[in-house]
Copies of this chain bind each other. A is one copy, B any other.
Amino acid sequence: MAHEHKDSEMNDVETRTFFAPDSQSQRHNVPYKVGIPPKQDLLKEFKTTVKETFFSDDPLRLFKHQTKSKQLMLGLQAIFPILDWGRSYNLRNFRGDLIAGLTIASLCIPQDIGYSKLAFLPPQYGLYSSFVPPLIYAFMGSSRDIAIGPVAVVSLLLGTLLQNEFDPVSDANEYRRLAFTATFFAGITQATLGVFRLGFLIDFLSHAAVVGFMGGAAITIALQQLKGFLGIKHFTKKTDIVSVMKSVFGSIEHGWNWQTIVIGASFLAFLLSAKYLGKKNKKLFWVPAIAPLISVILSTLFVYIAHADKEGVAIVKHIEKGINPPSVNEIYFSGENLLKGFRIGIVAGMIALTEAVAIGRTFAAMKDYQVDGNKEMIALGTMNVVGSMTSCYVATGSFSRSAVNYMAGCQTAVSNIVMSLVVFLVLKFLTPLFEYTPNAILSSIIISAVIGLIDYEAAILIWKIDKFDFVACMGAFLGVVFASVEIGLLIAVAISFAKILLQVTRPRTAILGRIPMTSVYRNIQQYPEATKVPGVLIVRVDSAIYFSNSNYIKERILRWLTEEEDQLKATYQRVQFLIIEMSPVTDIDTSGIHAFEELYRSLVKRDVQLVLANPGRLVLDKLYSSGFPDLIGENKIFLTVADAVLTCSPKIVQEV
């Protein structure tokens, strides 16, 4: 059988080398020549690298061979996609957008009021941030399903970062001004990343890390709500679970307010069951969507009628009436507060970006349209910069509201316009109605909203798929819950980087064997039936060979060799050929070539011949310019492992 196989393989070689089939005489054929690529033009090479790095999406593709006017039009459309899809906008689309817009509006109003509390800002600022930013996004954004506005996690993050600098109560003024400054620079950061096409930077926060971070943030937020939910007056400023629990149970006797708890609990039950209903029956998605508004209305009425506020039920009291006042002059453009705002802005901006882009991608994949990451960042950035000048704080895409938006059948970003118009009306006329809204309700709404962010299924899947990812996930989660949001974030990023560095420092290597009755060579660990070729050791290196791993690879290969020789000692055989399968070696640098030269020297000392199989274009390129092939002999480089083995094994046969 094995012999028959050899023949069939010889056939391959013959056809390759244009000889008449004759398996005996062909053993010393030269196999198919390995392609030596034409010398790369440096400038060209450099340009392609830059292009792939920053313009991988080839943004100017459309502009090629177009008239000037057309190009101008396309340019405008690139900045304002609404000019593109707006022209094909019809009534049917509007119907969908209207319904969706109204739904998310009803959801966002109570959320906004709650979230602004998370950011330690007066309630109206949440509403402000749901009025201006969505409008701007609608014109510039490329996602059709994202719902813009303040979100829980960013509000929390902003709040924690800001109160490290100013006390939100005693120096409320500086606090608010710093908030706008941070928002301004968050926007600048986002836009800059987009303009300089550094969008890929946010990819460095891995999916696993984000899952963990979000989950942790959700729990932290929920814990923060215990203040409003239990009606506790004196609550810790810290966000870690330990100090929160302390201040919760420390205030049992005198701190809690049973009326508050009753209201909060009953409505939380209502909200959760509504959520459950919506989950069970997709048709009823609107139930959880409007439940918050309903509960706000009911509870407000109840408190108003029953004068529950006299019983110590904390209420919103006052929401400023009227639309966003300008806040340009409030932004710190100088002094150390500028730096503070800058620092906070970068962090908040990046996180907001991660969330928005994640949402954009998810829904784009569902409906199969492309969201241009960099364009998206410019849109989000602009919207936050303008927002910071109109009394808004950092806004971005909200997971919960975007999902509702999608299920409510939104067609375009118009749903955001509808929403912001509703918010406008509320700001203009209805804010006084919220005076008697109990904080407990807002807490319940936030709790029921953030629960959705705890994606334990994803965590389980991550555990199943990749243990290292799970560590990153848990690290972020625990970091947020037990330390603080920043710490959690730091851990997440650190672990993500550690993973990359580990990959490039300790690449995998594998011993290959021939799959029975084929000319295919595979990892003998994966295919136990694969058999080694006597006298030949075939090693596959599973990574680009760079300074960071060249020494390791060299030593690992020599170790494979030593181990093999130790095994062979008994059989009085020895390894005569070391074949390195280079297919996965995508690139090599000078350190790598040095390592190869050292490897070659050690092999010569051991009287083992070095053979390379299928080096890629780049690698071959560099090997030749370093003169390595002349060192080992050009006839030592083959197209496939099979070829290499064919030319080695006969020599062995002769010796034995």
A contact residues vs B (CB 8 Å cutoff): 1, 4-5, 8, 11-12, 15-16, 32, 35, 37, 42, 45-46, 49, 52-53, 56-58, 200, 203-209, 361, 365-366, 368, 373, 461-462, 464-469, 496, 499-508, 510, 515, 517-520, 522-523, 525-528, 542-544, 546-552, 555-556, 559, 583-584, 586-587, 589-591, 593-594, 598, 601-602, 605, 614, 616-618, 620, 622, 625-626, 639-640
Known: A35-B526, A605-B368. Is A589-B465 also a contact (CB below 8 A)? yes
Are B617 and A56 in contact, CB atoms less than 8 angstroms apart?
A: no
CB < 8 Å: which of B467, B510, B552 contacts A46? Answer: B467
Alpha-carbon distance between A502 and B49 when the two chains are bound, in angstroms: 10
Are A506 and B546 in contact, CB atoms less than 8 angstroms apart?
A: no
Alpha-carbon distance between A209 and B548 when the two chains are bound, in angstroms: 12
A608 to chain B, nearest CB (A): 12
Known: A527-B35, A589-B468, A590-B462. Is A53-B208 also a contact (CB below 8 A)? no
Are A517 and B15 in contact, CB atoms less than 8 angstroms apart?
A: yes
Q: Cβ of A206: which chain B residues have Cβ within 8 Å of it?
A: 546-548, 589-591
Are A8 and B11 in contact, CB atoms less than 8 angstroms apart?
A: yes
A472 to chain B, nearest CB (A): 9
Main secondary structure of the interface of A (DSSP, over half): helix
Q: Cβ of A583: which chain B residues have Cβ within 8 Å of it?
A: 583-584
Are B500 and A546 in contact, CB atoms less than 8 angstroms apart?
A: yes
Are A32 and B546 in contact, CB atoms less than 8 angstroms apart?
A: no
* Interface hub of A57, A208, A510, A616 (most chain B Cβ within 10 A): A616
Are B587 and A503 in contact, CB atoms less than 8 angstroms apart?
A: yes
Are A16 and B518 in contact, CB atoms less than 8 angstroms apart?
A: yes
Q: Cβ of A527: which chain B residues have Cβ within 8 Å of it?
A: 35
Question: Taking CB as reference atom, which chain B residue is nearest A550?
Answer: B203
Are B555 and A56 in contact, CB atoms less than 8 angstroms apart?
A: yes
A32 to chain B, nearest CB (A): 6
Known: A56-B552, A200-B552, A206-B548. 18 other contacts (CB 8 A): A8-B8, A11-B11, A37-B525, A45-B467, A49-B506, A203-B505, A203-B548, A204-B547, A206-B590, A207-B589, A461-B590, A465-B589, A465-B622, A465-B626, A468-B589, A500-B546, A503-B587, A525-B617
Q: Cβ of A555: which chain B residues have Cβ within 8 Å of it?
A: 56-57
